């Protein structure tokens, strides 16, 4: 059976139209799928990046905080760390005198307020010198002296006895001189004879 040419042409046109429509739908569908897949992939990457940043920030914060606390603690410890050691001279200045010979001078000696530089010229004098001295010079023989803090003690007389809480420099020029102290040992220049020097332990 043979169809007319007009019918064949119409059938071919219909088939071509259907084929083109299917291709169009396939192309559009594929593009939409790719677009949706790309959007989803970008969203996942963005979420992953945000999560990683938040995790990194959260991990860094404790370290930074710990370092800050550590620095603060160190500074506090350094501020609280104080040197509690005391100078022997300061201890000697505040110490009570218990040596019997020294106490006898304090009780019975002539009390004199002194400062700066002072010279003892009286022979056989017993003196209780109160006050810190830059220089104390004892020239009188047989003198007995009790003093506080003396930077430089010079003993020129013979048979002189001196007790001092603290002496930095000691010069002995006389014979038979006795010098005792409570504080640190002074530097001693002994040009005399028969001298006795030493720190008193109470």
Mean pLDDT of 179-184: 96
Residue 67 and residue 117 share a domain: no
Q: Is the pLDDT of residue 50 over 70?
A: no
What pLDDT was estimated at residue 202?
Answer: 72
User: Nearest 5°: phi and psi at 140?
Assistant: -75, 140
Residues contacting residue 121 through CB under 8 Å, at least 6 positions apart: 139, 140
Residues 111 and 69 in one domain: no
Q: What pLDDT was estimated at residue 17? A: 57
CA distance 120 to 140: 6
Q: In terms of pLDDT, which residue wins out, 164 or 77? A: 164
In this structure, the answer to whether residues 55 and 104 fall within a common structural domain is no
Same-domain pairing of 108 and 67? no
- Residue 189 belongs to a domain: yes
Residue 195 and residue 142 share a domain: yes
**Per-residue pLDDT reduced to its tens digit, 133-143:** 999 999 999 99
The answer to whether 139 and 123 are in contact (CB under 8 A) is no
Range of the domain at 9: 1-73
Contact 199, 182 (CB under 8 A): yes
Q: Are residues 68 and 106 in the same domain?
A: no
Residue 173 has pLDDT above 80, yes or no: yes
Neighbours of 199 (CB within 10 A): 14
Cβ atoms < 10 Å from Cβ of 180: 17
Give residue 201's pLDDT band: very low, low, confident or very high (50, 70, 90): confident
**Is residue 109 domain-resident?**
yes
Overall pTM surpassing 0.85 (yes/no): no
166: which strand partners?
Answer: 149
| 69/153 same-domain check | no
Our count of domains for the chain comes to 2
SS3 32: helix
């Amino acid at each position: 059976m043979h169809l007319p040419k007009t019918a064949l042409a119409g059938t071919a046109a219909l088939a071509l139209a259907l084929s083109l429509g299917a291709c169009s739908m396939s192309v559009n569908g594929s593009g939409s799928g790719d677009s949706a897949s790309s959007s989803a992939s970008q969203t996942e990457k963005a979420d992953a990046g945000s999560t990683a940043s938040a995790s990194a920030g959260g991990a860094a914060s404790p370290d930074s905080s710990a370092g800050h606390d550590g620095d603060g603690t160190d500074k506090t410890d350094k501020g609280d760390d104080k040197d509690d050691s005391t100078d022997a001279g300061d201890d000697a200045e505040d110490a009570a005198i218990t040596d019997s010979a020294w106490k006898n001078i304090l009780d019975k000696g002539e009390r004199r307020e002194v400062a700066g530089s002072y010279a003892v010229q009286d022979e056989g004098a017993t003196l209780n010198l109160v006050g810190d001295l830059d220089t104390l010079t004892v020239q009188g023989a047989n003198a007995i002296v009790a003093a506080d803090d003396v930077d430089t003690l010079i003993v020129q007389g013979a048979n002189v006895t001196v007790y001092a809480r603290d002496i930095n420099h000691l010069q002995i020029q006389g014979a038979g001189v006795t010098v005792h102290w409570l504080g640190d040992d002074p530097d001693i220049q002994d040009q005399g004879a028969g001298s006795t020097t030493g720190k008193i332990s109470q």
